[in-house]
């Protein structure tokens, strides 16, 4: 049996003028637009190209997943390069469309909100539990091909000297070249409670925190926008210094039973 195909990974040996990493958006377009406006104003102090890096989880739970994807796929602010990474929720959507019965839990983890935003009719009887393939076929007809192509091509990480930007984290003790995509978009406890990698700071999301968490070897910038209303960005300069920027808006009307 051949190993699964690995997603692209981005690595550069030289820093841009500044990197602005944005945590999990989850369909919260209001906060994303407000945060990018803050970032553009802050970046005016730096000459040269700046990079805007989104750490994945653009969809699910919040109200405007399709519009968030359209925005992330669109042109960056003036003076910026936009780099979008994959999150576990994007992979869940793709997995559901490929094999609905095996990945039905996606709908309970926010997928129903995304399906509704794409125009799927309400389903008070929850017939998707009995006929997931029929639900997936209907959804596949509503999701634009450009969105699916975009999600299939997303890389897992951005590596710069001494910094790694990734959705969930890395597995401690495993060389970067041997890291598995599954860990990069799903890992929690082993990474959060494991030993830090020497000379490497990992900027990640995936695990919601009440406030930006600066820990040994990592920074968690997922402030749970869909339930807190707060979307966070971290500015990182080539010398390693950082600054937190945040946009506040209306939380989504969604309470997760399981924050996956």
The confidence score (pLDDT) of residue 196 equals 87
Q: Which two tokens stand for residue 98?
A: 């490929």
Domain definitions of the chain by residue range: 17-87+156-248
User: CATH homologous superfamily of domain 17-87+156-248?
Assistant: Metallo-dependent phosphatases (3.60.21.10)
Sign of CA dihedral 221, 225, 229, 233: positive
More confident residue, 192 or 6: 192
Dist CA 57 CA 87 (whole Å): 5
Residue 256 DSSP one-character state: -
pLDDT tops 90 at residue 252: no
Provide the mean pLDDT of the chain: 94
Dist CA 21 CA 87 (whole Å): 14
Q: pTM for the whole thing?
A: 0.95
* pLDDT tens digits, one per residue of 79-138: 999 999 999 999 999 999 999 999 999 999 999 999 999 999 988 788 888 899 999 999
The confidence score (pLDDT) of residue 256 equals 60
Percent of the chain clearing pLDDT 90 (strictly above): 89
Q: What is the mean pLDDT of residues 127-152?
A: 95
Does residue 137 sit in helix, strand or coil?
A: helix
Q: What is the mean pLDDT of residues 12-32?
A: 98
pLDDT grade, residue 1 (50/70/90)?
very low
Contacts of 133 (CB under 8 A, 6+ apart): 100, 101
DSSP string, 14-79: S--SEEEEE---TT-HHHHHHHHHHHHHHHTTS-S-EEEEE-S--SSSSS-HHHHHHHHHSPPPTT
The confidence score (pLDDT) of residue 15 equals 98
pLDDT grade, residue 197 (50/70/90)?
confident
Q: Which two tokens stand for residue 186?
A: 């799903």
The confidence score (pLDDT) of residue 257 equals 54
pLDDT tops 60 at residue 2: no
Dist CA 73 CA 96 (whole Å): 22
């Amino acid at each position: 049996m051949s190993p699964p195909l690995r997603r692209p990974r981005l690595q550069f040996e030289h820093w841009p003028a500044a990197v602005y990493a944005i945590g999990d958006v989850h369909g919260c377009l209001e906060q994303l637009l407000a945060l990018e406006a803050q970032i553009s104003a802050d970046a005016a102090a730096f000459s040269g190209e700046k990079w805007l890096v989104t750490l994945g989880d653009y969809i699910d739970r919040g109200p405007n997943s399709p519009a968030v994807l359209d925005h992330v796929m669109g042109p960056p602010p003036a003076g910026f390069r936009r780099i979008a990474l994959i999150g576990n929720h994007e992979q869940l959507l793709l997995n559901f469309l490929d094999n609905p019965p095996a990945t039905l839990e996606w709908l309970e983890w926010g997928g129903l909100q995304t399906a509704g935003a794409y125009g799927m009719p309400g389903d008070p009887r929850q017939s998707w539990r009995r006929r997931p393939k029929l639900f997936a076929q209907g959804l596949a007809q509503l999701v634009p091909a450009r969105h699916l192509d975009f999600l299939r091509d997303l890389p897992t990480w951005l590596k710069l000297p001494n910094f790694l930007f990734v959705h969930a984290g890395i597995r401690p003790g495993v060389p970067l070249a041997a890291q598995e995509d599954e860990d990069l978009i799903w890992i929690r406890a082993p990474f959060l409670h494991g030993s830090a990698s020497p000379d490497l700071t990992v900027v990640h999301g995936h695990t919601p925190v009440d406030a930006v968490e600066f820990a040994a070897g990592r920074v968690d910038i997922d402030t749970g926008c869909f339930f807190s209303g707060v979307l966070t960005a971290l500015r990182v300069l080539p010398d390693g210094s950082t600054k937190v920027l945040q946009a506040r808006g209306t939380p989504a009307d969604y309470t997760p039973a399981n924050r996956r």
